[in-house]
A and B are shown apart, each in its own frame.
Chain A
Amino acid sequence: MTVNKSLLIPLVVFILLVTVLALGFRLEDPHYLPSQLINKPFPEFSLPDLHQNDRIITKADLTGDVTLVNVWATWCPNCLVEHPELMRISREEDIVLYGVNYNDETNKAIRWLERHKNPFKLNIVDNKGTLAIDLGVYGAPETFVLDENGVIQYRHVGAVTRMVWDSKILPVVSLLRKQAPGPSGDSE
């Protein structure tokens, strides 16, 4: 059978296109950096502490070590889903958790933590959602990994499960810990 070569042009163009699209995958996992805020400093804020209303928490309280910041609320069913895992992390893992209590009622939030136990070192009251808006939060729960300078290094949207911890968050945390000794671990 003879093939008219010009009829192969569409096929060749298509193969080129597929190559580009396939390269699109190899570049990175699109889940890995879903936020505009990756590599940007955590936004400045000054908001009260959930348990001590007269105490003001600022960004300075979150810096100094690699930390997790978890956005949660009592109205959020998935926060209840991830809560056992957060408790486990706070007990078993070597990392400090901070909570951002998002658009919630303070009394309810305190009672919720009494009932389900508190994995957080500090709880920031964000009842107007201002910090959450600065963070570009879609909805609760969301979890951010901050390096020791308070720069956002990872963001997870949705409930943190054991699988998410093992496959997504822990690798980022250990990588940051390894880089931490070198003062300018900023490469590439």
Chain B
Amino acid sequence: MIAEIGHFSLILALGLAVCLAILPAVGVYYRRVNLMQLSGSLSAGLFVFVSISMVCLGNAFLNDDFSVAYVARNSNSALPVQYKISAIWGAHEGSFLLWSLVMAGWTLAVSVFSRNLTLDMRARVLSVMGILSVGFLLFILLTSNPFDRNLPVFPQDGSDLNPLLQDFGLIVHPPMLYMGYVGFSVPFAFAIATLTSGKLDSAWARWSRPWTNLAWAFLTVGITLGSWWAYYELGWGGWWFWDAVENASFMPWLVGTALVHSLAATEKRGVFKSWTVLLAIFAFSFSLLGAFLVRSGVLTSVHAFAVDPERGVFILAFLVLVIGGSLLLYAFKATGIKSTAGFEWTSRETMILVNNMLLIVAAGVVLLGTIYPLIYEALTGGKKISVGPPYFNTIFVPIVMLLFVVMAVSPSSRWRKTPLEKIVRQQLVSLFASLVMVTTLIYFFASKIEWVAVLVVSVAAWILINLLRDLFGRVRNKVDKLTALFRQPLSYYGMLLGHLGIAVSITGVCLTVYYSEEKDIRMAAGDLVQLSGYEVLFKGVKKVKGPNYVADQGELVISRDGEHVVTLHPEKRFYQTGGNMMTEADMDAGLFRDLYVALGEPIGESAWAVRVQYKPFVRWVWFGGLLIALGGSVTLLDRRYRTAKRKVAASATEVGVTAQKTTTQKTVLGEVR
């Protein structure tokens, strides 16, 4: 019964989404204030009903209702409670419900926090978001209903959640990722709304910017978590595989990064308006494209998702309507846009333009690599190939290295025009300083000098030096230096944190790649192996029993110079319900190195294949990611976005809600006249 309530409220939500898509737009067209005002309550209703639906699905999981087919496939009565909850989004149907819930959440957030928009603009934006919700909800109801029943014969017990997904990382990773993907619908909706209204000014950049930054920050956290999860859960110590699903999340991130930068330029300087609108469309398009690639099954992936060509056709049609439609709109409506401000080639505007070009090329490279197997298959009539890390590493890495150089120099640049001679000398000095510093550090602390690593880490250090110099330059001439530090706008600190995060991540990536050591060996109880100065002693394997699995648990004692460092217990788990074998690696994490051990297959009577890895600085990869996300979200708290909100809040409390409504009505009517 409860599952049917969930299904029913999903249908109601679809109805509300249809109203949200149509009514405010009609209101805009016929200049009816009451219709435009419906957008707020419709958004709230949409969110409420999708939430009810989500709660109903959660209820089915918690109560082991295996008559619901989705629950029977992805849960089991022995599954621990926290995984029953995360199993809600453990497979296609439920995860798409989560996607729709997030969509409804963003819609509600826009309707609540955009009171300072004109009523007309708000109605347009929410109407676009309503259209997107219609698409998503239709998709669920028509092709992937999580409430389908297994009646009349239903299994006594479920076939369990994929053990790979029985993990903390999966509880938090998809919600974060979806917040990012779907969050890009907000700048997208703003872009479409502005295009239809024909008033493309800097104001829309100011409205979209906090939303874009927030969505982008979520996406960053999502990708970081995904990489971290792959590292410790997939059991072979890698953290990025250039897998189709990873690429699907990485492409919108690259485009989103470009958007974050060009929005800043549009807001501050009024340049690149048309380009920024296009980027806003692109960022969301790539999110949808990612969803298509992951869920349609046109590509094979290590993250095997529920694949179904029927769903693929639906998403493809949706893609064509949404993206094709908006690009068509763009082609017709963006003609009149002219940038008001000029700039010279030595300016910060140019820097941002170069940044945008490089990021878009990088996203294009990833896209090409991801869909190349499809193109190849089509051209050769069915031969299958896979494009792997070699392609991405050889093409992607040089592009981003170029990007990092631009990034290192950028804080010294000025809007409009930068005095070049001074900067060049300054930069050469700081580059040289960072090279010397990094070479010295690596010489003293590392076993060998890898020149590529030296070069890359130097660029990271160069980025850092320039950020610090810029911060110093801003307070140098002030009397009270501490107050001056606090006076800097938060969006400036957001930039600092974001760029610092990139520097930290590159350092991590580069040092892990060049200085990791890895051994795959056969070990019997009592065997000893040396690895990067550590002695690893294999004590043997014993059987242990978990809630829904049995496991062989190895014991490895790791010591350094005779001193005990840590004892690790990697497991080889067998999940009886699904019949899955799982490698559960164990690791000792540290700021400067991880020790990572995984149990392979048993060899003969008492020996096991064991993989031991020493991975320096691997934590920096994710730590940097978190810093980037922090940088993105700090910008939201910037004074100029806050004051706008406070003003509205103040007027609402002073004059009362009805009065405020009449004023907004007046402004709208004023505009209409």
The interface stretch among A12-20, A88-96, A110-118 is A12-20
- The answer to whether A137 and B579 touch across the interface, beta carbons within 8 angstroms, is yes
**Among candidates B298, B331, B578, residue contacting A11 with C-beta atoms closer than 8 Å:** B331
How many angstroms between the C-alpha atoms of A50 and B282 in the bound complex? 59
Chain A neighbourhood of B658, CB < 8 A: none
Q: Tell me if B156 counts as interface (CB < 8 A to partner A).
A: yes
- The answer to whether B579 and A140 touch across the interface, beta carbons within 8 angstroms, is yes
Residue of A nearest to B293 (CB): A21
Known A-B contacts A7-B331, A102-B579; A20 and B297 likewise in contact (beta carbons under 8 Å): no
Chain A neighbourhood of B327, CB < 8 A: 10-11, 14
How many angstroms between the C-alpha atoms of A167 and B320 in the bound complex? 31
Known A-B contacts A11-B324, A29-B309; A75 and B577 likewise in contact (beta carbons under 8 Å): yes
Residue of B nearest to A132 (CB): B579
Tell me the chain A residues, 14-46 only, with Cβ under 8 Å from chain B: 14-15, 17-18, 20-25, 27-31
**Among candidates B278, B292, B332, B375, residue contacting A10 with C-beta atoms closer than 8 Å:** B278
- The answer to whether A7 and B374 touch across the interface, beta carbons within 8 angstroms, is no
Q: Tell me if B159 counts as interface (CB < 8 A to partner A).
A: yes
Chain A neighbourhood of B581, CB < 8 A: 129, 133
Known A-B contacts A1-B332, A10-B278, A14-B324; A129 and B579 likewise in contact (beta carbons under 8 Å): yes
Known A-B contacts A80-B155, A102-B579; A21 and B331 likewise in contact (beta carbons under 8 Å): no
Q: Tell me if B378 counts as interface (CB < 8 A to partner A).
A: yes
How many angstroms between the C-alpha atoms of A137 and B578 in the bound complex? 10
- The answer to whether A23 and B316 touch across the interface, beta carbons within 8 angstroms, is no
How many angstroms between the C-alpha atoms of A21 and B291 in the bound complex? 13
- The answer to whether A10 and B330 touch across the interface, beta carbons within 8 angstroms, is yes
What bracket does the count of chain B residues touching chain A fall in?
35 or more
- The answer to whether A18 and B316 touch across the interface, beta carbons within 8 angstroms, is yes
> For the complex, would chain B's binding face be called helix, strand, loop or mixed by DSSP majority?
helix
The interface centre, meaning the residue of B282, B285, B309, B574 with most chain A CB atoms within 10 A of its CB, is B309
Tell me the chain A residues, 50-109 only, with Cβ under 8 Å from chain B: 73, 75-78, 80-81, 102-103
Measured CB to CB, the closest approach of chain A to B615, in angstroms, equals 28
- The answer to whether B324 and A21 touch across the interface, beta carbons within 8 angstroms, is no
Chain B neighbourhood of A132, CB < 8 A: 579
- The answer to whether A22 and B297 touch across the interface, beta carbons within 8 angstroms, is no
- The answer to whether A24 and B374 touch across the interface, beta carbons within 8 angstroms, is yes
Known A-B contacts A25-B313, A139-B579; A20 and B323 likewise in contact (beta carbons under 8 Å): no
Q: Tell me if A187 counts as interface (CB < 8 A to partner B).
A: no
- The answer to whether A3 and B332 touch across the interface, beta carbons within 8 angstroms, is yes
- The answer to whether B159 and A27 touch across the interface, beta carbons within 8 angstroms, is no
Known A-B contacts A18-B320, A20-B378; A25 and B580 likewise in contact (beta carbons under 8 Å): no
**Among candidates A11, A17, A18, A31, residue contacting B307 with C-beta atoms closer than 8 Å:** A31
**Among candidates B155, B292, B579, residue contacting A81 with C-beta atoms closer than 8 Å:** B155
- The answer to whether A78 and B159 touch across the interface, beta carbons within 8 angstroms, is yes
Chain B neighbourhood of A22, CB < 8 A: 316
Residue of B nearest to A26 (CB): B378
Measured CB to CB, the closest approach of chain A to B87, in angstroms, equals 15
How many angstroms between the C-alpha atoms of A132 and B307 in the bound complex? 23
Chain A neighbourhood of B299, CB < 8 A: 24
- The answer to whether B153 and A81 touch across the interface, beta carbons within 8 angstroms, is yes
- The answer to whether A78 and B579 touch across the interface, beta carbons within 8 angstroms, is no
Measured CB to CB, the closest approach of chain B to A13, in angstroms, equals 9
Measured CB to CB, the closest approach of chain B to A8, in angstroms, equals 5
**Among candidates B296, B316, B378, B574, residue contacting A27 with C-beta atoms closer than 8 Å:** B378
Q: How many residues of A contact B (CB 8 A)?
A: 39
The interface centre, meaning the residue of B327, B332, B574 with most chain A CB atoms within 10 A of its CB, is B327
How many angstroms between the C-alpha atoms of A15 and B313 in the bound complex? 15
Measured CB to CB, the closest approach of chain A to B176, in angstroms, equals 27
The interface centre, meaning the residue of B155, B299, B375 with most chain A CB atoms within 10 A of its CB, is B155
Q: Tell me if A2 counts as interface (CB < 8 A to partner B).
A: yes
Residue of A nearest to B379 (CB): A23
Q: Tell me if B312 counts as interface (CB < 8 A to partner A).
A: yes
How many angstroms between the C-alpha atoms of A21 and B372 in the bound complex? 10
Known A-B contacts A7-B330, A21-B316, A103-B576; A27 and B377 likewise in contact (beta carbons under 8 Å): yes
Measured CB to CB, the closest approach of chain A to B78, in angstroms, equals 11
Tell me the chain A residues, 140-165 only, with Cβ under 8 Å from chain B: 140
How many angstroms between the C-alpha atoms of A27 and B383 in the bound complex? 10
Chain A neighbourhood of B309, CB < 8 A: 25, 29-31
Interface string of B573-608 (1 = CB under 8 A from A): 010111111000000000000000000000000000
Q: Tell me if B382 counts as interface (CB < 8 A to partner A).
A: yes
Q: Tell me if B662 counts as interface (CB < 8 A to partner A).
A: no
Q: Tell me if B157 counts as interface (CB < 8 A to partner A).
A: yes
- The answer to whether B316 and A30 touch across the interface, beta carbons within 8 angstroms, is no
**Among candidates B158, B298, B334, B574, residue contacting A7 with C-beta atoms closer than 8 Å:** B334
Measured CB to CB, the closest approach of chain A to B115, in angstroms, equals 33
The interface centre, meaning the residue of A24, A28, A133, A140 with most chain B CB atoms within 10 A of its CB, is A24
Chain B neighbourhood of A17, CB < 8 A: 289, 367, 371
Known A-B contacts A11-B327, A27-B377; A77 and B576 likewise in contact (beta carbons under 8 Å): no
Chain B neighbourhood of A10, CB < 8 A: 278, 281-282, 327, 330-331
Chain B neighbourhood of A129, CB < 8 A: 574, 579, 581
How many angstroms between the C-alpha atoms of A23 and B281 in the bound complex? 24
Pairs across A and B, CB under 8 Å, 9 listed: A7-B335, A10-B327, A11-B328, A18-B320, A27-B374, A31-B297, A75-B577, A138-B580, A139-B159
Q: Other than the known A17-B367, A138-B580, what 19 A-B pairs have Cβ atoms closer than 8 Å?
A: A2-B335, A10-B278, A11-B324, A14-B323, A17-B289, A20-B371, A22-B316, A23-B374, A25-B309, A25-B316, A73-B579, A76-B159, A77-B155, A77-B157, A78-B155, A81-B153, A102-B579, A132-B579, A139-B159
